[in-house]
Copies of this chain bind each other. A is one copy, B any other.
Amino acid sequence: MPVLSHTALSEMMYEMFAKAGAPPDEARIVSDHLIESSLMGHDSHGVWRATGYAKGMQKGVSPASGYEIVKETPATRVIDAKGGLGIVAAYKAMEGAVEKARSRTFGAVGIHRCGHCGRLGAFPMLAAREGMIGLCFLNGGARFTAPFGGTSRRIPPNPLSVAFPRREGEPVMLDVTTSVVAGGKIQVKEARGEKLPEGWMIDAEGKHVDDPARFMKDAAVLPLGGFQFGHKGFGLGLVIEALAGGLTWAGCSSEKPTRGASGFLAMAINIADFIPLSDFEQEIERLVEWVKSSDRLPGVEEILVPGEVEQRAREQRIREGIYVEDRTWNEMVETARELGVEAPKA
C-alpha cells in the first residue's frame, strides 16, 4: 500500500482539480478538505474521493459558476447551490456566517441543492479559529434512520458539528450524527466482512439485523439512544431537519421532499459579544482539565475531548505519511495521467 506525504498528495489533487476545470480557489478548497480528512483519520471523506471529484469537475460541476443568493439579510443568507460542489459551498457558507457574525454577533448561511458537503467537522473550525463558536447542521443523504418507536427508514443520520476555542491547543470539535451510528461505520463493517452489533439496525418487525449489506436496502438504523432513549436522538434529528432543511429552503424529509431536502446550515456566534474571549477560552480549558481528571473505565488510557482523536491522527500522519489503498492510488494515478498531472513517487 503506497504511503505518501500529505503535501505531495495535496499538491497532486490540487493540480488534478485545476486541470479538470475547477477555478483555482475551489481546487484548493477541495484538495485541502480531502487531505485534512485523511490526516484526521476520516478516510471515508478523504483522498479516496479525489478521482470522483476530478471527474465531476471535468463535467463542469462547480458552485462558483452558478450559485444564486435567494434571500439575504444582515445576519442571514440562503443560497441555491444549483447542484454544485458541496465542499466549496459549505466552506463559503461558513466564511459568510463568520463575516456576518463579526458585525451582528450571529451569522447563518444556508444552502440548498448542493452536492456532498464532505466532512462536516471541517467547517465550524473556521469559526473557532476566529474566536467564535461554529455550528453546522445537515439533513442530507440517504434517509435510513427510523423514528423513535418506528421501524421504517424515514430521516437521514442528520449530523451536527460544533467547534469552539480553548486556551491551549486546538479547538474542541464535535462531529456526530443523531442516528445511533453513521452510515460510514456500517459500510466499513461490510467492507471488512463483519457483522453488526445489537442496537444498530433493525428490520420492519424491529428485529436486529446483523448483515451490513442490508443497510442500503430494507433495514433502518436506530436513532441515538436506541430502543430505550431513542426519543432523544430522534428529537435532535428533527431539530436538525428544522434548521438544515426548514431554514435553508432545502425542505425537510418527507415522501416527496421540496427541493430535494438536502440542506446545510452554517452558523457562527461571536463569543466576545457575550464575554471577553480570553475568559471564555479559560473556562473551556478548565472544563477540559476537569473532565480529563475523571477516573477511567478499564482499558481507557485517557479521557479525550471531541476533536482530540482527530488531532492525534493528524500529527501522526503528518509525520508518517498517509496510507492510500492500492486501488484508490491506481485510480488516482490513471486519472492524473489523463489530466496531464504527474503523480508523486509513492
Q: Which A positions have Cβ atoms within 8 angstroms of B?
A: 71, 73-76, 78, 104-106, 108, 110, 133, 146-152, 154-155, 162, 164, 172, 174, 176-177, 180-181, 197, 199, 204-206, 224-225, 227-229, 231-236, 238-239, 241-243, 245-249, 251-255, 258, 269, 271, 273-275, 279-280, 283-284, 286-287, 289-298, 300, 302-306
Contacts and interface: CB of A to CB of B under 8 A. Distances in A.
Contact of A287 (B181, B241, B306): B241
6 contacts: A76-B273, A150-B291, A155-B291, A162-B242, A176-B231, A180-B225
Copies per assembly: 2
B206 A298 contact: yes
Contacts of A172: 238, 242
B78 A206 contact: no
Given A242-B172, A246-B164, A106 B75 contact: yes
Contacts of A228: 197, 199
A156 to B, nearest CB: 12
Given A174-B236, A255-B293, 8 more contacts: A148-B304, A150-B291, A174-B238, A176-B236, A224-B224, A252-B286, A252-B290, A255-B286
A142 to B, nearest CB: 15
Contact of A303 (B147, B271, B292): B147
A152 B295 contact: yes
